[in-house]
Amino acid sequence: MNRVAIYPGSFDPLTMGHVDIIKRAAPLFDKLYICISESTAKSYTFSLEERKQLIKECFPSDTIEVVVNKGLTAKVAKELGAQYILRGIRTYMDMEYEKSMDTMNSSLYPDLETIFLFASSHLSTISSSLVKEVAFLGGDISTFVPPNVLNLLLDKVKKNEIE
């Protein structure tokens, strides 16, 4: 049976933390869907199309596909034929949130397993909003985001489009 996983997140924007998880997880699966979702509780800087394009440019591979999901992650996982949800854990503070998402997702679809990878330690304290904030304040974030993300982010800083 093909091993198919879905890696959900808002990716606003993709950071080297996400890249680290994707690169380490990709060899474990036959197909990995990177699934861009939005939470109603957050506001976003990059459009869904911008995020999709940036991620596709970073992973030009047949086995990694970028999709946009406006519904439940567990439901889209089933629709895509995924048996696994992939999530990264940066610090112990992520754990409680991950536990509740895992519990909810597996109660919706009991045969869906969530697989966790710990973030590499040098990337365990970054987040998308942190890199946006530092970029907005003129700090160098070039080691924390891929080059295409850096260019668009700096463009948005110039145009004052950062939320």
Q: Is 82 an interacting residue with respect to ligand COA (CB under 6 A)?
A: no
* DSSP classification of residue 1: -
42, 75, 99, 122: which is the annotated catalytic residue? 42
- Minimum distance of ligand COA from residue 35's CB (angstroms): 8
- Minimum distance of ligand COA from residue 56's CB (angstroms): 18
Of the candidate residues 73, 86, 114, 153, the single one contacting ligand COA (CB under 6 A): 73
Q: Which amino acid is at 117?
A: L
Angle between the N-to-C axes of helices 128-136 and 147-158, in degrees from 0 to 180, rounded to the nearest 10: 50
Instruction: Name the burial class of residue 21, with classes exposed (0-12), middle (13-18) and buried (19+) by CB atoms within 10 angstroms of its CB.
Output: buried
Task: Give the ranges where 26-123 is alpha helix by DSSP (H).
Answer: 48-58, 73-79, 92-108
Of the candidate residues 48, 67, 68, 72, the single one contacting ligand COA (CB under 6 A): 72
Q: Rounded distance, CA 107 to CA 153, Å?
A: 38
Q: Rounded distance, CA 136 to CA 134, Å?
A: 5
- Minimum distance of ligand COA from residue 52's CB (angstroms): 14
Q: Rounded distance, CA 85 to CA 115, Å?
A: 6
Interaction pattern, residues 29-48, with ligand COA; x per rule: CB under 6 A? --------x-x---------
70 included as an active-site residue: no
The contact set with ligand COA (CB under 6 A) reads 8-10, 12, 15, 17-18, 21, 37, 39, 72-73, 88, 90, 101, 104-105, 119, 123, 126-129
